[in-house]
Amino acid sequence: MTIPIRRLPYPVLREIFKQMDPESLINFIRTNNSSIKLLPAMSASVSVNYHNKDPFILVTTASGIQSELPFGYYRKVMKVFKWIELDCLKIVVSDKFKRKSCLRLLSLLKHCKFTSCNCLMIQSVEEGVVLRKEAIMDITKQLKTINEMFIDVSMEELPENLDPALAVTVTNGDLLADTEIMLLEAEEILVESSRIGDTGANLIIKNWIAHGESLRYLELKLADEWKLFDDDNLGMEHLLFDLDFQVRGEGRFETKHLGSVLNFEDGFDIQRDDGKKATITSNQQVVRLLIISNP
């Protein structure tokens, strides 16, 4: 006995699709030529995984239902991209990561109904995997827009030519020099671990004063003392060295960055020649640069 779902009201049919796993949806599309027209665009996340012997992609729908597809199933993967609105693209790398095969797979993104991606995550399954910036740049080229990027893998250089409206989080910046953070064009930057000391942070602030365009918020966790090898200082006098600053006297203030509301009690205000203002705050190894106004 069949259950003739095409005779159900469309809102019900749409709910059934939401409860199907991605591989079933692919097989549903393949039942006949008109089936694809029934499938609504659905938000889903795609994770490209290299940590097994055979790489695979994991597609998770908005209802949290997953399907695992081997890389070789190009035709199936292509069909996935035809109906999803890509919410999050996660690339999980290991020492088995192969840039070319990843790019071949991601080139299928051009079949996506919507090639924008809310969030791009680059993760590593093991320590010691260092990714070259070109790999990330190649990946970002496959996507029209990205709102947020999380780099959770060691890198010596950060990718260039990113969307300046991007929010970038670097969870492991221990191999990055201060110049890499200076060169990163993004609206919001969070570096959760680094080898940079107060002198390096001072140079980053000076770079913003001289050239900063899109930056609205920078949060930088300075190095633990034992990690300092670029920069041998940790102290406010080095952070503010040679800066024309004023102690902020307006008491507690609140700001919203990287999706969180942040509260501050004090800081140091600086102003550029073009009138742009910023506040620098520092506590427990975390330096924040908040750009508070545009002229």
Partner 1 sequence: MSVEPEVPIVQVEEVRENPVLYKIISSDNHVFTISEHAVKLSKTLWDLITNLGLTAENALDNPIPVENVNGKNMETIVQFCERHKYDEEEPEYTNYIREFVLPEWDRQLLSIDNEELFQLILATNYLDIQKLMDYCCRVIGDMAKDKTPEELRIIYGIPTDAEDDALERSASDSPGPSG
CA 78 to chain centre: 24
- Residue showing tokens 């942040």: 262
Which among 17-25, 91-99, 129-137, 242-250 is the span making contact with partner 1, rule CB under 8 A? Answer: 17-25
**Residue choice 47, 63, 218, 276 for contact with partner 1 (CB under 8 A):** 63
Helix (H) or strand (E) holding 14: helix 10-18
If one asks whether residue 97 binds partner 1 (CB under 8 A), the answer comes out as no
If one asks whether residue 236 binds partner 1 (CB under 8 A), the answer comes out as no
**Max Cα–Cα distance, the chain, nearest Å:** 81
Kindly state the smallest distance separating residue 58's Cβ from partner 1, in Å. 14
Cα distances (angstroms) measured from residue 287 to each of 168, 235, 279: 16, 11, 10
If one asks whether residue 18 binds partner 1 (CB under 8 A), the answer comes out as yes
If one asks whether residue 261 binds partner 1 (CB under 8 A), the answer comes out as no
If one asks whether residue 20 binds partner 1 (CB under 8 A), the answer comes out as yes
9 vs 259 by CB, closer to partner 1:
9
**Residue choice 8, 175, 210, 243 for contact with partner 1 (CB under 8 A):** 8
Kindly state the smallest distance separating residue 86's Cβ from partner 1, in Å. 12
- The residues near 152 (Cβ < 8 Å, ≥ 6 apart) are 121, 122, 123, 124, 171, 172
If one asks whether residue 12 binds partner 1 (CB under 8 A), the answer comes out as yes
If one asks whether residue 62 binds partner 1 (CB under 8 A), the answer comes out as yes
If one asks whether residue 283 binds partner 1 (CB under 8 A), the answer comes out as no
Count of beta carbons in the 10 Å neighbourhood of residue 129: 18
283: exposed, middle or buried (Cβ count in 10 Å: 0-12, 13-18, 19+): exposed
Do residues 193 and 172 make contact, with C-beta atoms less than 8 angstroms apart? Answer: yes
**Residue choice 36, 52, 58, 64 for contact with partner 1 (CB under 8 A):** 64
Distance between CA atoms of 118 and 99, rounded to whole angstroms? Answer: 22
40 vs 235 by CB, closer to partner 1:
40
Residues at the contact surface with partner 1, assessed by CB under 8 A:
1-9, 11-12, 15-21, 24, 27-28, 30-35, 43, 60, 62-64, 87
